[in-house]
Amino acid sequence: MIRPYFGASETSMVTLYRKVAFSVGYAGVSPAGTLPGFTPLLRACAASATNTPAPAPTPNTVFAPVTDDIESLSIYATIDKRLYKMAGARGNAKVVCDAKAIPKWQFEFTGSFVPVEDVAAMPAVNYSAFQRPLGVNKLNTTFSIDGYTAAANSFQFDFGNQVVKQDLMNVDTTEITGRTSTGSVTFRDTDVATKDWLAMARTSAKVPLLLKHGQAATNTVSLSVPLAQIGKPTFSEVDGIHMITVPFRCIPSNAGNDEWSITV
């Protein structure tokens, strides 16, 4: 419709859904072999959880990417006695691990819309499944890439899930339709004799990468990438020291669903 005057036209809401983003401490468990509190969150981000409880020789939980039969979850958030619900939620996860800071999981979920409800009282909370995260420093954190132990001050990792909201005739779901896991790490640059990062980028070298946070028997998290493809580095300065930032892509083997693993 064309009108002879300025002004907004009416709109209609044609799809309803919810999104929520929040962070969780990047920490392990105690005792070893206990399922971490963030297990349901990672499973709804297209990851499997293989738990080996005590008294096994090496009790732990290993998270790995999956492609089929991706789980979902329901998220409840109570704010000022108002209950917000999200059903059938799936999402994406990131790891942010910076020196002299608390490392975090960063989650973003999309799910079905449920009307807001009033509640009589704020619910009780229980954080016993979550350990207090440790600060990122020499005492708690180690990082290696292609066998080189780097003096890193920043590490980021992104599951890279493609999350889509489907609202069709007879269908109202959130789906994960793809995954390209990537990351980057910033550390003190090296001489060429130690590592020629530019040459590795030119040849698209694929190298192992390991970030371990927490060095004791418990409260540890290890993130391993067997085939981290080196991207184009960039350079910066931190505290007057020359730094290099190396981006990477996580490449699966021919078996698939093995481009990374997270052991807690």
Model confidence pLDDT, tens digit, residues 30-65: 999 999 999 999 999 999 999 999 999 999 999 999
Residue reference for tokens 């859904």: 17
- Partners of 43 in the beta sheet? none
Residue 1 has pLDDT above 80, yes or no: no
Q: How confident is the model at residue 8 (pLDDT cuts 50, 70, 90)?
A: very high
CA dist 213 and 26 (Å) reads: 9
Which one, of 89, 130, 81, lies nearest residue 108 by Cα? Answer: 89
Tokens of 112: 């079905």
CA distances 257 to 86, 141, 251, Å, are 28, 26, 9
The Cα 51–Cα 220 span in angstroms is 15
pLDDT tens digits, 201-213: 999 999 999 999 9
Residue 13: the pLDDT is 87
Residues 225-257 pLDDT 10s: 999 999 999 999 999 999 999 999 999 999 999
Average pLDDT over residues 6-13: 90
pLDDT digits (tens, 9 = 90+) for 76-135: 999 999 999 999 999 999 999 999 999 999 999 999 999 999 999 999 999 999 999 999
How big is the CA angle at 126 (ends 95 and 123), to the nearest 5 degrees? 110
Determine the distance from the C-alpha atom of residue 76 to the mean position of all C-alpha atoms in its chain, rounded to a whole number: 20
